[in-house]
Structure 1
């Protein structure tokens, strides 16, 4: 492949990808270019050599992946062990494909908090490879922005210590960049800023080498208060107070310009800038013209530094705070921005599309995005067919989207949902169960397991992956496993019963049959569980046991209301479920809190920095803010080993201990429980999760044990 690499601009990059995916000694690949035009690839395989031609590096990566999927039945997902180890390329006739949609967006500001805060170069290399193989052309890139803000604000007159304090802790940087908070859980260290500038440069270099055009953050009006004393206005987000400049203050455009210039100097530019000045915070002035004034000042600063700047704007505020963002306000805001200067991300289009409400954003270029999860919640849930139908409606609209994307708050969960969305940039899907699912199953597990596991996935497609509505939204009920315990249901038990039933809009027996079929397949080939099948065994067990936990909780509530006492056997069974699920989760590293905390600690340069990083890692996924804050507590709701069998189980044990008292004196019991829960959170922040007990079995044997213990009777 060496001769071909030298002749193709993206050849070296794609050759490196092939080595990482296939192994150093993979069969020969010949690379070539297609004429410029719509993103396309073409492949054929003869006599063990794969010939791959494409318009660009991302299209070439999609072409390689398409060949591997269709011809070799081998997809590369987040949980696929690499290298694949394909010894010879099977013959394949010439096959050509052209992208149905021009751009593919990936990531959300929040993803950089809930998933990738502590990733190193190896983690990012794997993720960028995944992006390329799945056709991502426009990734949001935040790593290194710490250094940009340090450079910009020191040039504007602040000292470095002030800037580092303003930035706060690493887990909270995405919300700092969006303007939601400042100075929380830090300060950021000089060492962190320097190492992440280096990492950010490497990430961008690799993404650009594939031909991606990364989107970098921009100024939102939020500044350190020391920059302009008595010239800013306070605003509040979930209890956090920040200061914003008036768009009529000349300093607004000056700061926007300096941040853009500093960013270009340190990280380069692809002329696209993500800025959301009103993300979950209404404008500080209610006047209809105010958002337009912010738009004018933002663009003045951006274009002074980069005449080719395009503003990338999330439509999320229009959905999240629709009472404020009336049709008139949104129209006035969008009309203030020239069409060629704006790209709108319809962030939650699979559930709450704003393009339909605003007539495809009045002619502005826009991208249809799927969000699915909030806080990086790991619940296996989604609506595969519903999301596909929503995307097809958008594609058939008079003003179709210029791109599609993934905007999850946390990634590396529910791979079927996210891969289905990205596949539709290249191939239309109408019937998920018939058009797409058979190929997904064959490519995920290999052809030997496909028949049995397709039956399981067809059942999942009619149960947990046909769940209508935004059921992963934290303001809705997601089940008792990760919920903060309280005694409200003693006064209104019908409330929780209705919520629990809403989560099960399917025959539970179908879910349990899918679980059994997956366990059967894994037992027939235990080695297969080292890859995606092991991940999916944990997912389907979590889906089933979460609903078992809901029913067990309801049984305890009903029992104390009926008898006035707590049944000891029912209590034991309820708490044992947390231990059982925790043991299963511990068999997969990606489902352990310990790995998350160790990744955070790995960036520490000294004991003080380690303490700060570990605190950030613990805090974000549990209380979010302080241990007694009511705003975002349990927002992330991770079903992870160490949390399920430790933190969450301890809280429910406290709840059970006060249950009889609550039946007799609810207010007193509730106040006592709240105090104990706050203390438990404080202890967790100080001590973390206990190391789980060694599991008595692997993911396959434990799956069988739990299936027999909690599965539905035959």
Structure 2
């Protein structure tokens, strides 16, 4: 097809034109798109007389070109929380500019993201997210939405009835863990209406991703089967976090057959781009210790996929090699990888910013691989990252003898710490030689302001870089203490005068809190001067800065409670932090529990569906599993209005009531047992009742109030004092 001026109009042009309209509004009519030849991904653009012309090799590269133009010539970027359309009325002139991707692919998502962030999204949410993906260079997204329809169709052919299948699939909020083989028959059954509605949504998502030229990765069979099938097959039991499941022996022909049936059903419903994600060993050691057994699993997995799709390529997360190092020795990993043809596998080095495996396993024995950044576990809202360490880690991977085929984001949840994820995606296209200069550009484009406010925002972010985003050498992981606010209370922290809690709290302050307080204050000052900015990214950043500071105040005041033996005045001051933070968080919808639950319930087709959806929304971010199991309790703990001032505050109040008795008992387990019973009762009440609505106020006003109230929480010291530290000033060390 040719345009009016004789240039070829690419097939992706209408899709990218739609994105441009959503981002720019009417001025998008002045953007022209054309095809560009090239072996890799690339683009060229120029603008003159109010018209922007973009030529690109594919739709994603064209979207990246548009975003680069907006950032470089309009001073505006599109983030997760940017208000759209952008305030652009004319397109500034721009000289010719070319860009080329540093890697072929930009990978996106983790199976867990589809439980911790996206499970209740509708098309409007997904359209916005796919636009973000295209603008940031994502070419290879994991696509899990609707997979339950393929599983349902396959097991129907294998003789299971509708109720058996929906019971096996379990609750909609937990489906990704079902697909990974971690659990089944839990928090369900899956509502009948969900299967069809999400089949339609999943198809729509895939259609849009493919229209941009993305190659989505679809889920595949992991060997995990319903008990009805396991009862008559060669199968073994395994456990994950207290959940028992059944997995087929790869020697049973049923393994490859079910894998093929699920893949065929999926291809019939959704088509295919020949990429399939399966993690048969995710956090579960193989049921047979024979070193050759993982290779047999690989052979059966590939046999099933290739029976349905001869061009199938298996994408596997390298997480097991890190999570269970005692089992996955170098010899075992090499033997497993050698059993798979190189062209049939793609490895995602999932946590490469923290625990890179590509060097340890010699770039995965020649398999194509992806360098991925994880950072976030469970959707926790703690502001934290090591920004300075990211560019060097990426550059080292790209300089390897066999560099990665792509860079990616594999966070368990999105919508947190956006600065970190923007930094990673920028490096798909551009090298970042220094974070400080990159951060200045990020800040300018995030807010789109100039003059005094721009200078204050830059100063604020350099303060954040020197504090919460300067976590060099810090292990950012689920097994690390994250502060008392979202922690399950225990009297173990009162022993030896609270020595364990004191050490944990001190470890959370590798920076001077005065620097963080000043950064927060600068954000507040801009919000007061330019209140229109608060509805956009500035509001999100205000909330995150408030969380960062108040979380450490809560740690300190908890120590005061322990030191005073539960003095009522100290208890009241401690619980006051929960109340105050709750009020601030209520000002920003994405930091409210109510928004999460309302999105879940919006999918209900009847009272029974509503009950399951409410339960899933409440359960996964609190107890996770059952109230009797501590294994994943608070794993996904979040600083959300309703939780902080309700659920979390109530737990600490129960702890404080029994503190004097626990201290008097000097380690008597009776106090801990009684506290455990009270906490379980509170959790059961939350699962039944949820939280009360929290009234939203003015975020800038609430932030100023809290800064004023808590500015002296760590004593008086200049934030610029050389060598000062929290431990020096507070006596916590």
Q: TM-score, normalised by structure 2?
A: 0.95
SS in 2 for 1:660: helix
**What are the equivalent positions in structure 2 for 1:41-440 lying under 5 Å apart?**
41-231=43-233, 232-434=235-437, 436-440=438-442
Structure 1: distance between partners of 2:27 and 2:63? 18
Tell me if the contact between 2:27 and 2:91 (Cα under 8 Å) persists in the aligned partners: no
Structure 1: distance between partners of 2:455 and 2:366? 46
Tell me if the contact between 1:26 and 1:85 (Cα under 8 Å) persists in the aligned partners: no
Deviations 1:347-368 (A, max 9, x none): 0000011112111111111000
How much does 1:27 deviate?
5.1
- In structure 1, which of residues 521, 525, 528 is the aligned counterpart of residue 530 of structure 2? 525
Deviations 1:330-353 (A, max 9, x none): 111111111100100000000011
Q: How many residues get paired?
A: 706
Tell me if the contact between 1:372 and 1:470 (Cα under 8 Å) persists in the aligned partners: no
Deviates more, 1:680-689 or 1:22-31: 22-31
Tell me if the contact between 2:375 and 2:476 (Cα under 8 Å) persists in the aligned partners: yes
Structure 2: distance between partners of 1:541 and 1:167? 39
Structure 1: distance between partners of 2:636 and 2:477? 10
**What are the equivalent positions in structure 2 for 1:494-505 lying under 5 Å apart?**
494-505=499-510
Match for residue 454 of structure 1?
A: 458
Tell whether 2:510 aligns with 1:508.
no
Match for residue 661 of structure 1?
A: 661
Deviates more, 1:660-669 or 1:89-98: 660-669
Tell whether 2:27 aligns with 1:38.
no
Match for residue 479 of structure 1?
A: 483
Tell me if the contact between 1:367 and 1:401 (Cα under 8 Å) persists in the aligned partners: yes
SS in 2 for 1:52: strand
Tell me if the contact between 1:360 and 1:366 (Cα under 8 Å) persists in the aligned partners: yes
Deviations 1:420-445 (A, max 9, x none): 000001110121012x1111000001
Match for residue 706 of structure 1?
A: 706
Match for residue 632 of structure 1?
A: 632
Are residues 2 and 510 of structure 1, via their aligned partners in 2, closer, same or farther at CA, if it must alter by over 3 Å? farther
Structure 1: distance between partners of 2:509 and 2:3? 55
Structure 2 regions of 5+ residues with no counterpart?
718-733
Structure 1 regions of 5+ residues with no counterpart?
561-565
Tell me if the contact between 1:377 and 1:472 (Cα under 8 Å) persists in the aligned partners: no
CA RMSD of aligned residues (A): 1.4
Tell me if the contact between 2:468 and 2:548 (Cα under 8 Å) persists in the aligned partners: yes
Tell me if the contact between 2:220 and 2:262 (Cα under 8 Å) persists in the aligned partners: yes
SS in 2 for 1:442: helix
How much does 1:567 deviate?
2.0
Tell me if the contact between 1:62 and 1:132 (Cα under 8 Å) persists in the aligned partners: yes
Structure 1: distance between partners of 2:440 and 2:422? 14
Structure 2: distance between partners of 1:660 and 1:569? 14
Tell whether 2:554 aligns with 1:549.
yes
Structure 2: distance between partners of 1:499 and 1:630? 20
Structure 2: distance between partners of 1:388 and 1:650? 42
SS in 2 for 1:284: coil
Tell me if the contact between 2:21 and 2:29 (Cα under 8 Å) persists in the aligned partners: no
SS in 2 for 1:23: helix
Match for residue 472 of structure 2?
A: 468
